[in-house]
Amino acid sequence: MSARFSFTRVAAVLKKEFIQMRRDRVTLAMILGVPVMQLFLFGFAINLDPKHLPTALTIEDPGAFSDAIVAGLMNSDYFHITHVTRTPREGEQLLDRGDVSFVIDIPVNFSRDLVRGTHPQILVEADATDPASGTRAVGSFAQMAASALRDDLKGSLAMRAQTSAPFDVVIQPRYNPENNTQYNIVPGLLGVILTMTMVLMTAMAVTRERERGTLENLLAMPSRPVEIMLGKIAPYIGVGVVQSGLILLAARYIFGVPMLGSLWLLSGALVLFIAANLAVGFTFSTVAKSQLQAMQMMVFFLLPSILLSGFAFPFRGMPGWAQAIGEVLPVTHFLRIVRGLLLKGNGLAEIWPELWPLALFMVGACAVAMARFRRTLD
């Protein structure tokens, strides 16, 4: 071995590394794709100031003043009226299902009290399971409504318009009265952690067998492909259940997250979600040629799952194309189910719109994983 440093030998090794990198298409995609993905997601999809949030309106005192407030809401950038309810109970049901972010209630005798100068109250109920999504919208409501009424407060009512606001706005954060971010983050971590660990562990299932040379032993066994797949996935279901139990115990007794809904419904949703992620990871393991490639594929699935699911950033603040991608991801629906069960006390009827897409994704992912595994065995 020559003791002298040689740039020629360094160049030879450098050339070899570039050739290997070029041949490894997954690694090349990782090098080029992840920065581009992050650039587009953070540049276009992430919005910390969501606009046009779905709003339900309960008008218990129809009249000119109520019409002025409605017109102001329709011209506002923050509120988008999607439902008009007849009773406050209907608005509460919309909040429970997650159909709206706000319910605005214009009470009985609002016009009479406004004329008398007794400062009537407008109730704004906000879905506070994600405290960051509606903070600016709620803060802008009082000024917007006062501006909308200014043109109607004329003549003897002109003095009312000169005050800061001729009415009071009562903000009621539902499901999270103290706007505690832990109530939002900790249940969301259940979905993110399970996604990361379940996909990662099963993504290495077949590639580990291939690298160790034991895949031939599986092929020689008198077992059907579906039996091998279930046998390799089943242990990780138990791992996922244990992880879920630890996270839920920490959420309840360390972070004080309420658990108002049925634990049986939560358990059923957990099994569907774990199975869906295991199937995704198993599919990756049949495509990847090494454990490194399997881990790289997992990153491409994990990044959108964190950024486009509503875990890290408000889901309704994202553009339409980003929301469409997010709706395909199982963690998006699982987060809504978990927050609905723990914070809202939802039942099966409320979580069903999120439960069936999760079940459909699980069935589709298992079918793809089975088809890919059959091809691997052939």
Question: pLDDT for 153-206, tens place per residue?
Answer: 665 555 555 556 677 888 888 888 888 888 888 888 999 999 999 998 888 877
> CA 335, CA 332: separation in Å to the nearest integer?
5
* % of the chain with per-residue pLDDT over 90: 21
Do 129 and 159 fall within a single domain?
A: yes
Which of these ranges, 253-267, 339-353, 364-378, has the smallest mean pLDDT?
364-378
Nearest to 278 by CA among 319, 242, 235: 235
Verify that 211 and 131 share a domain, yes or no. no
Mean of pLDDT values over 46-63:
87
Together in a domain, 163 and 196: no
Give the pLDDT score at 208.
80
DSSP symbol at 340: I
Per-residue pLDDT band at 217 (split at 50, 70, 90): confident
Q: Is 30 inside any structural domain?
A: no
> Is 266 found in the same domain as 165?
no
Maximum Cα–Cα distance across the chain: 101
Q: Please report, for the domain that includes residue 79, its CATH number.
A: 3.40.1710.10
Average pLDDT, the chain: 84
Range of the domain at 116: 53-174
Residues 219 and 108 in one domain: no
- Sign for the CA dihedral angle at 342, 348, 353, 359 comes to positive
Asked if 135 and 189 sit in the same domain, the reply is: no
Residues 163 and 271 in one domain: no
Do 218 and 111 reside in the same domain of the chain?
Answer: no
Name, in order, each residue with C-beta under 8 angstroms of 257's C-beta and a sequence gap of 6 or more.
Answer: 182, 183, 186, 187, 251, 342, 343
Mean pLDDT over 16-22 rounds to 79
Give the span between the Cα atoms of 373 and 378, in whole angstroms: 9
Of 123, 152, 174, which residue constitutes the final position of a domain? 174
Model pLDDT, residue 329: 93
Asked if residue 2 has pLDDT above 60, the reply is no
Same domain flag for 118 and 186: no
pLDDT digits (tens, 9 = 90+) for 272-319: 999 999 989 988 888 887 888 888 888 888 888 988 888 888 888 888
**Where a domain ends, among 119, 139, 174?**
174
* 245 & 302 share domain: yes
Per-residue model confidence (pLDDT) at position 110: 85
In a domain, 77, yes or no: yes
The reported pLDDT for the residue numbered 154 is 62
Residue 197 and residue 165 share a domain: no
DSSP state string for 236-295: HHHHHHHHHHHHHHHHHHTS-----S-HHHHHHHHHHHHHHHHHHHHHHHHH-SSHHHHH
The pTM for the full model equals 0.85
Q: For residue 33, is it within any domain?
A: no
Mean pLDDT check: name the lowest of 11-15, 161-165, 168-172, 249-253.
161-165
Q: How many structural domains is the chain composed of?
A: 2
Last residue of a domain, one of 147, 174, 201: 174
Average the pLDDT over 103-114 and give the result.
87
Q: Given a cut of 90, is residue 269 above it in pLDDT?
A: yes
- Whether 42 is covered by a domain: the verdict is no
CA 195 to CA 279: how far, in whole Å?
11
Asked if residue 237 and residue 197 are part of one domain, the reply reads yes
Distance CA 105, CA 103 (A): 6
